[in-house]
Structure 1
Amino acid sequence: MSDTILEMTGITKEFPGVKALENVNLKVKPGEIHALIGENGAGKSTLMKVLSGVHPHETYTGDITFENNLCKFKNINESENLGIVIIHQELALIPELTIAENIFLGNERSKNGVINWYETINETRELLEKVGLKLDPQDVIKNIGVGQQQLVEIAKALSKKVKLLILDEPTAALNEEDSENLLKLLEEFRLQGMTSILISHKLKELFRVSDSITVLRDGKTIVTYDLKGNNITENQIIKDMVGRDLSNLFPSREMTVKDNIVFEVKNWSVFHPIDSDRKILHDINIHVKQGEIIGIAGLMGAGRTELAMSIFGKSYGKKISGQLYKDGKEVNFKNVNQAINNGLAYVSEDRKEYGLVLIDSVKQNLTLANLSGISKRGVLDKRKEVSVAESLKTRINIRTPSIEQKAMNLSGGNQQKIVLGKWMFSDPNILILDEPTRGIDVGAKFEIYKLINELVEKGKSIIMISSELPELIGMCDRIYTLNEGRITSNINQADASQESLMTYMTQSRGE
């Protein structure tokens, strides 16, 4: 038996103006969990798209050897036929179809063009049992949770007789419980002899389940570590990823908090936009001072995003009641434009759906939230647009060959910088940041943290929502905890710990 199931040698891949991969080498042993890690834009996803045939043979140089056979995949079907299956970060399920229909889409159980639904349902039930899902095969995808959808994707991969399972940021959108269940499943697959390649920015997860780690930086292979019996640390991996030491994951900040309250939410209640009898938020009371960063901590479903969107021009919810005060005066934002005009900005947790126009350029996205700032008498000043975009690109270090590059072609970290830059150009007083570092690497996170600190040092105020408790503790002056739509605590940074926050996040009411 060969000591490798997969070997990629000298892989080089270029896009217009960008060399995404340069002479990359990767060896994966059979039956192991092999982690692939690097900063956003390092080339991880591109390498896996080369492997799976998304980028077909002859669009790159180098060799792929799988199970001792030289492979020249022209499309994803050819790689799947050999048992190489990739699950992308953005799930590829069709919300309106059932679990069974999604699992066997394009791989139907049929005879003479007629689908055998009995066989389809039975096989789906067996696959769901393998991934630990107790759901009806005929449940519709849009009615199940994100964690369950991730497991449906894995069940779909198992239906294709997978030998090498590639998972790109599988836990990025999952809560802790769903992440833990998925990692346990990968460990079970390993015991059964399956090989996995795991792409993630969550180092603790990788160290827990991985046998080997390969680090990419700037499209090149830096190092591969065998984790068994070797004392490899997270700090060593971070240094390999970013090319320098990061002695502190959170940049230092001068005390910026003033005494004056600039924004206050009082007795804020919100009902579900469709089920108008279902109350989502119950009498929320929070405030933020000038130059302050406050955090909102809560488990998935606690109402964090609903709170942010309802504040931001009532873009979520029905029967909204309560008061908003800005600089001591009551305000009423009936829509998003009124919120923006009154100095609010909202960075959504879903940058691709709500934060960016992916088919537009970096330049167009950066100036989108403040078109009046690059216009005169309603006419766009294209020179000013270029000047503003170039200035923001430099200021916030967006890594792109040109401001004319489409946003869809940039890494997640650079896309997130564009969203932040867009709102910085609108010059808000209050920024609501919903999961501002989700799915981006430690180096890009540090740069975004520095941008946040720069904003509050200039007198801006930040409301920061995050699922990562160390991030909230490292960045925020105070942290509110939210559970079942109710505020359960208001903790100063000095008194905050992951344990204390989790306690308040899981209890019904504050002390």
Structure 2
Amino acid sequence: MMVPATGPVLSMQGITKRFFGTTVLDGVSLTCHSGEVHAIVGANGAGKSTLIKVLGGVYQPDGGQLVLDGKPVRFRALHHALARGIGVIHQEFTLLPERSVADNILLGREPRHRLAIDRKAMHAQARCLLSELDAEQIPTHRLVRRLTVAQRQTVEIAKGLSHRPRILVMDEPTAALAPADVTALFRQVRRLVARGLAVLYISHRLDEVFQLADRVTVLRDGQHVTTKDVSAVNAVELVRLMVGRDLAGRESQPPPPARTGPVRLAVRGGQGRKLSGIDLEVRGGEVVGVGGLDGSGRSDLARAVFGVDPFHAAAVEVDGRRLRIRSPRAAIRAGIGYVSADRKTDGLVLPLPATDNALLAVRALGRHPTQEAGGTLSRLAQRVGLATELLRRESRVLSGGSQQKVVLMKWLATHAGIYLFDEPTRGVDIGAKTAIHELIRELADAGAAILLISSELPELVALSHRIVVMHRGVIAGELPTGASEEAIMLLATGQGGSDAGPGGRR
């Protein structure tokens, strides 16, 4: 799309925001036109979320102004922004799981007949909104907790559309979606833009920016770096602008051969609620990738090994010792660390400071941190690239990338010999992603056994010495270093086998 010659529907001019004397946004400016997808990218902590909260009325700017249709405006609350046509779809779902789809879409604005809610009209309105997204198949009477992640995302969008916005902000909308669901979401966005909506699209996934956006604005350290037509920039340039430096070129290359030691983790005949016949070995110094589609059993495998949802039947061996791991505490005592896919729910106690979260697993071992803990945490923070001044802050106020670094600190503090990484780079920026990749390589080089679960095929290929692929709760096959993404997907979709690719086997 070419940006129209008419004025922008939205202009953010010199927006500045400070918290406790720290400048988080420093004179940021951008514009957005009707019928345009304008992407906003930047490292974690660059100011993206704060900028959106200023636009949505959550925060009041300390400087600069918002201009809507050429007129300055000031939003003092969320409902003020909504009333002026600005809707925000947050990365974290805001739905009520025990209420129906229709209840969630029209919450607080239900049609009424006299004093009672007109449920027939409410469901009709909800169906109409879903039809605008080509999602009539979602039952409006169904409880939200019974929906898939992709369906919940669609309900979030329908809820936002119920306010009839002119500007729709989408913050990391694909973070928890499978590739097929991402494609469906993009169709929905393009349909909305064709109707004249202006879309501000925040994403760490640069491929999405190039597929969907017309223009892209780069933020770094709270400042506006540049705004460019997407057609005039490439991924390498964007990364350089986002992080202020060139990143190493290892991210697309398979790893060198592993200097493997003895088997550190073995599962033999693993049976679980969603798992069957799991036979797996991971040696010291080796990164074994686990591929597969959502629902294939990848995360169930990690949870079973860690004792969250234990195997019903299995021989689990750690460093040659046969163990019954029936709880996370038992797994931690066995020297296993687990970076879960959902850091907010499973990885952190959000109201606690980062320091306390980083010591949780150590305390689970029965150790009581001494006065030396402060120095240890500082060294761990440096190792994962977390600014030490963030250690005293509540974990809930940290950016997604910083929260993930705290989770990594928690397990590094235990000196585990086996690490289970489940989507370790989900929702983090390109700089943090590279740092996490380097840490995984360092751990393997030091002799740790790594089980790496990832939905990102390039990540699996770049880090894994071997890749096992799961399908419907079983290991469908194994692929060697440098396996193609096509070979992985063939196994993941149940189409592979001995001919899945070089080295593929069932």
> Do the two structures share a fold, i.e. TM-score over 0.5?
yes
Is 1:371 matched with 2:363? Answer: yes
SS in 1 for 2:96: coil
- For the residues of structure 2 that align with 1:251 and 1:82, how far apart are their CA atoms? 45
Q: Hey, which bits of structure 1, 4+ residues long, moved more than 3 A?
A: 251-256, 372-376, 508-511
Is 1:217 matched with 2:220? Answer: yes
Contact persistence 2:329–2:365 (CA under 8 A): no
- Matched pairs, number: 492
User: Which one of the candidate residues 467, 491, 502 is aligned to 1:504?
Assistant: 491
User: Which one of the candidate residues 88, 91, 99 is aligned to 2:90?
Assistant: 88
- For the residues of structure 1 that align with 2:256 and 2:489, how far apart are their CA atoms? 28
- For the residues of structure 1 that align with 2:233 and 2:97, how far apart are their CA atoms? 42
SS in 2 for 1:94: coil
After superposition, what is the alpha-carbon deviation per residue over 1:298-325, rounded to whole angstroms, capped at 9, x for unaligned? 1000011111101112x116x7112111
SS in 2 for 1:401: helix
Where does residue 311 of structure 1 map in the other structure?
305
Is 1:60 matched with 2:62? Answer: yes
SS in 2 for 1:282: coil
Unaligned runs of 5+ in 2: 499-506
Where does residue 236 of structure 2 map in the other structure?
235
State the one-letter code of the partner of 2:95.
L
Contact persistence 2:257–2:465 (CA under 8 A): no
Is 1:7 matched with 2:11? Answer: yes
C-alpha displacement at 1:180, in angstroms?
0.5
Where does residue 328 of structure 1 map in the other structure?
320
SS in 1 for 2:276: strand
State the one-letter code of the partner of 2:151.
Q
Contact persistence 1:249–1:446 (CA under 8 A): no
Where does residue 76 of structure 2 map in the other structure?
74
After superposition, what is the alpha-carbon deviation per residue over 1:179-238, rounded to whole angstroms, capped at 9, x for unaligned? 1100111111111111101001111111011110000001100000023xx431111111
User: Which one of the candidate residues 172, 177, 187 is aligned to 1:174?
Assistant: 177
- For the residues of structure 2 that align with 1:187 and 1:245, how far apart are their CA atoms? 32
SS in 1 for 2:389: coil
C-alpha displacement at 1:385, in angstroms?
2.9
State the one-letter code of the partner of 1:499.
E
C-alpha displacement at 1:2, in angstroms?
3.7
Where does residue 353 of structure 2 map in the other structure?
361
User: Which one of the candidate residues 115, 123, 136 is aligned to 2:139?
Assistant: 136
Q: Which moved more, 1:388-397 or 1:212-221?
A: 388-397
Where does residue 277 of structure 1 map in the other structure?
none
- For the residues of structure 2 that align with 1:3 and 1:81, how far apart are their CA atoms? 21
C-alpha displacement at 1:111, in angstroms?
5.2
Where does residue 281 of structure 2 map in the other structure?
287
Is the alpha carbon distance of 1:384 and 1:352 closer, same or farther for their aligned partners in structure 2, counting shifts above 3 Å?
A: same
Contact persistence 2:90–2:172 (CA under 8 A): yes
C-alpha displacement at 1:372, in angstroms?
7.2
Is the alpha carbon distance of 1:9 and 1:422 closer, same or farther for their aligned partners in structure 2, counting shifts above 3 Å?
A: same
After superposition, what is the alpha-carbon deviation per residue over 1:71-107, rounded to whole angstroms, capped at 9, x for unaligned? 1101110101111000110010000000000001122
- For the residues of structure 2 that align with 1:506 and 1:257, how far apart are their CA atoms? 32
C-alpha displacement at 1:132, in angstroms?
1.8
Unaligned runs of 5+ in 1: 272-279
Is 1:462 matched with 2:434? Answer: no
User: Which one of the candidate residues 292, 296, 319 is aligned to 1:298?
Assistant: 292
Is the alpha carbon distance of 1:106 and 1:257 closer, same or farther for their aligned partners in structure 2, counting shifts above 3 Å?
A: farther
State the one-letter code of the partner of 1:52.
G
Contact persistence 2:284–2:447 (CA under 8 A): yes
Where does residue 40 of structure 1 map in the other structure?
44
Q: CA RMSD, aligned part only?
A: 1.8
- For the residues of structure 2 that align with 1:260 and 1:375, how far apart are their CA atoms? 28
- For the residues of structure 2 that align with 1:139 and 1:166, how far apart are their CA atoms? 26
Contact persistence 2:329–2:364 (CA under 8 A): no
After superposition, what is the alpha-carbon deviation per residue over 1:421-445, rounded to whole angstroms, capped at 9, x for unaligned? 1000011110000000001111110
SS in 1 for 2:150: helix
After superposition, what is the alpha-carbon deviation per residue over 1:41-79, rounded to whole angstroms, capped at 9, x for unaligned? 111111001000011x3x532100112221110111010
Where does residue 103 of structure 2 map in the other structure?
101
C-alpha displacement at 1:118, in angstroms?
1.7
- For the residues of structure 2 that align with 1:415 and 1:184, how far apart are their CA atoms? 32
Is the alpha carbon distance of 1:213 and 1:336 closer, same or farther for their aligned partners in structure 2, counting shifts above 3 Å?
A: same
Q: Which moved more, 1:420-429 or 1:16-25?
A: 16-25
Q: Which moved more, 1:126-135 or 1:97-106?
A: 126-135
- For the residues of structure 2 that align with 1:320 and 1:345, how far apart are their CA atoms? 21
- For the residues of structure 1 that align with 2:378 and 2:9, how far apart are their CA atoms? 46
Is the alpha carbon distance of 1:282 and 1:508 closer, same or farther for their aligned partners in structure 2, counting shifts above 3 Å?
A: farther
- For the residues of structure 2 that align with 1:373 and 1:173, how far apart are their CA atoms? 32
- For the residues of structure 2 that align with 1:62 and 1:256, how far apart are their CA atoms? 54
Where does residue 251 of structure 2 map in the other structure?
250
- For the residues of structure 2 that align with 1:191 and 1:359, how far apart are their CA atoms? 42
After superposition, what is the alpha-carbon deviation per residue over 1:152-172, rounded to whole angstroms, capped at 9, x for unaligned? 011111110111010000001
SS in 1 for 2:312: strand
Q: Please, what TM-score do these two structures have when normalized by structure 1?
A: 0.93
Where does residue 434 of structure 1 map in the other structure?
422
SS in 1 for 2:76: coil
- Percent identity for Structure 1 against Structure 2: 36
Where does residue 478 of structure 1 map in the other structure?
466
Contact persistence 2:283–2:449 (CA under 8 A): yes
Is the alpha carbon distance of 1:399 and 1:481 closer, same or farther for their aligned partners in structure 2, counting shifts above 3 Å?
A: same
Where does residue 31 of structure 2 map in the other structure?
27
- For the residues of structure 1 that align with 2:260 and 2:404, how far apart are their CA atoms? 28
Q: Please, what TM-score do these two structures have when normalized by structure 2?
A: 0.94
State the one-letter code of the partner of 1:212.
R
